[in-house]
Amino acid sequence: MNKQLTWYKVLDDKKRLQEGRVMTATAGHQEICLTHWEGKYSALTNKCPHQGGPLGEGSIEKGLLRCPWHGWDFCPHGGSSGDFDDGLETYPLKIENDAVFVGLEAEKSHETTVADIMAETMVNWGVTRVFGMVGHSNLGLADALRRQEEKGRLRFIAIRHEGAASFAASAYGKLLGKPAACFAIAGPGSTNMFTGLWDAKVDRAPLLALTGQVATQVLGTGNFQELDLLAAFGSVAGFNQRVEHQSRHSELMSLAVKHAILNRTVSHLTFPDQVQVLPAGEEEAQTPDGRMTSLSIAPPEESLARAIEMIASSARPVIIVGHGARFHMDRIIELAEKLHCPVMTTFKAKGQISDRHPLGCGVLGRSGTPIASYFMNEADLLLVIGASFSNHTGISSKKDIIQIDFDPLAIAKFHPIALGVCGEISRTVSLLNEKTEEMAREKVRQEEEIAERWAIWRKEKKRRLSEERGRGVSSIAVFDALNLHAPENAVMCVDVGNNAYSFGRYFESAHQTFLMSGYLGSIGFALPASIGAWAAVGNARPVIAVAGDGGICQYLAEFSTLVKYKMPVKVIVLNNNELGKISKEQRAGGWDKWATDLVNPDFAAYAASCGGLGLKVKKREELDAAMRALLSHEGPALLEICADVQLI
């Protein structure tokens, strides 16, 4: 019985394949090797039976089709390998009106694979954004992700460097408190993700890392791009497993996502090449239904009662909030307003209370304002919520401290405190709010004093704004202009270096959200983080990335990713041709300034060459117009500001 064939046009004009030549063509989902020898056209399988070499990239030598990889020879018409039994499969071919057609049996319908089940489970658990790069050792999983995207359940963003993928996923987790995934091949693709993974781990951002791996049967043999990924990821991943033939595949994915969410950590799954395409059989995708419990855990009654007593007996309490309090600010601000007490933030928590709020004191610490440090020093009690007590913030250990945190290990991590209150932050602060009548007695109303301190600081900023050396724009001028023009609901991604210190000190937040590489302090964070931020908020909120010239060059190619996906991200680059923060540290430490000078591209021209808008400012008086043009542009845009390295 003749098999039903589907005919595919593989060549519009047979003359494109000259006598004595070969080429690769695609018929449906199958690659074909086309040959033209002695006036006859033939179609053969494109894979050499030796190691799968692409025969269509080979040549005809002495009348034989030669594999480009290892020189194995075959008949260019019938596929015979002479005396050997590993000949090539051939396919029917016909020519109509000079077009070449190849006949293949109808493709079989897709059989659900292990990768399909795991990708569907991942999406069911709410992981709907994946940043990564498709490559030879993750193609089966990539195809499963493609199927989820075609169903409208997932968005895949192809980046230019896997490090950008992990930073984007980390930023997404910091912004929303739920995981995105980053995706890479075995070997170098996976190791490229390490910095972003560590950024997520130390800043407690949930993240799912998915890596390809060489086939299980060649593990341990020194295969190309083989690397022990379980060992490599063991230090960074809180959940770290290899997907095996006999794994409970949907359960493994469920546990990976659950660990990432509940432990606010990195989960890693690595997929050997051949496991990705295994038939799923009867296995079905899982959902989180019935798998998660409420986290609204109240603190012990005795610690809550002691906290109420301490707050009631204080006259000048202050509240210090960290990044861990970002989803609980409504209740915290309610408490502050009832107590009339100042609220300041760590640098990572910048903007969690508006600087326009009567009780807002800005950032505390090295990147902060003298307002925050003044009120901490004047306080008789510090109520610290969701903060980690980093050296950068400098929370005084000489004051009585009440610390509220959901993680018992975070409480009194570095030194003894007066009282630790372990409980979910919203629940705990809500319970305190119920007792504010007794806690609010005999409190100093500090709103007027806060306003006075802001007036003093703004006068000082105005004085600094007048400083000019003729060597570029000052950082304070940059952030003064950004204060005027940045949308109040923007997500702002900050890099590392003097630009970040100036940002924290001079930019007065309204209702913006800020993302940064906190504990890791990794240069290069801002641009890939803006990709993650856009993936989280889409076009509902503006996204702005602020970086120095050193940071932006780490992942500069990702500007083309903004253009590819039409992300209307706005990038501001402070270009002073120097790693200014490091030069400053060298001078402060008594060392010579050395190896910190930079040779930079024309950033504005580069942005334009990628298809975005590129703007450049060399003088302060050009700033306002340039900021307006940048922020009003509908697509991706970059503003390069020639900055004075000394005026920070």
What architecture is domain 5-105?
Answer: 3-layer Sandwich (2.102)
Greatest extent of the chain over all pairs of C-alpha atoms, in Å: 103
Where do the domains of the chain lie? 5-105, 114-277, 301-449, 467-642
pLDDT tier for residue 221 given thresholds of 50, 70 and 90: low
This prediction's pTM = 0.93
Q: What is the pLDDT of residue 86?
A: 85
Q: CATH homologous superfamily of domain 467-642?
A: Thiamin diphosphate (ThDP)-binding fold, Pyr/PP domains (3.40.50.970)
Burial class (CB in 10 A: 0-12, 13-18, 19+), 451: exposed
Mean pLDDT within 493-519: 94
Decide if pLDDT at 31 tops 80: yes
Inter-CA distances, 53 with 45, 47, 66, 194, 492, Å: 11, 5, 10, 33, 48
Residues 127-152: tens digit of each pLDDT: 999 999 999 899 999 999 999 999 99
Pair 573, 547: CB distance under 8 Å = yes
Residues 552-580: tens digit of each pLDDT: 999 999 999 999 999 999 999 999 999 98
Q: Do domains 5-105 and 467-642 have the same CATH topology?
A: no
Q: What is the pLDDT of residue 278?
A: 94
Mean pLDDT within 400-426: 94
Higher per-residue confidence, 644 vs 184:
184
DSSP string, 367-417: TS-HHHHHHHHH-SEEEEES----TTT---TTS-EEEEES-GGGTTSSS--
Beta strand 155-158 with 129-132 is parallel
Q: What is the pLDDT of residue 346?
A: 95
**CATH code matching the domain that covers 301-449, chosen among 3.40.50.80, 3.40.50.1220, 3.40.1360.10, 2.60.40.10:** 3.40.50.1220
Q: What is the pLDDT of residue 81?
A: 87
Decide if pLDDT at 227 tops 80: yes
The CA distance from 247 to 118, in Å, is: 11
Decide if pLDDT at 320 tops 50: yes
As given in the structure block, the two tokens for residue 63 are 């009348």
**CATH class of the domain whose range is 114-277:** alpha beta
pLDDT tier for residue 1 given thresholds of 50, 70 and 90: very low
Decide if pLDDT at 2 tops 60: no
Decide if pLDDT at 542 tops 50: yes
Mean per-residue pLDDT over the chain, rounded: 94
pLDDT tier for residue 241 given thresholds of 50, 70 and 90: very high
Determine the length of the chain.
648
Considering the chain, what percentage of its residues have pLDDT values greater than 90? 87
Mean pLDDT within 53-57: 96
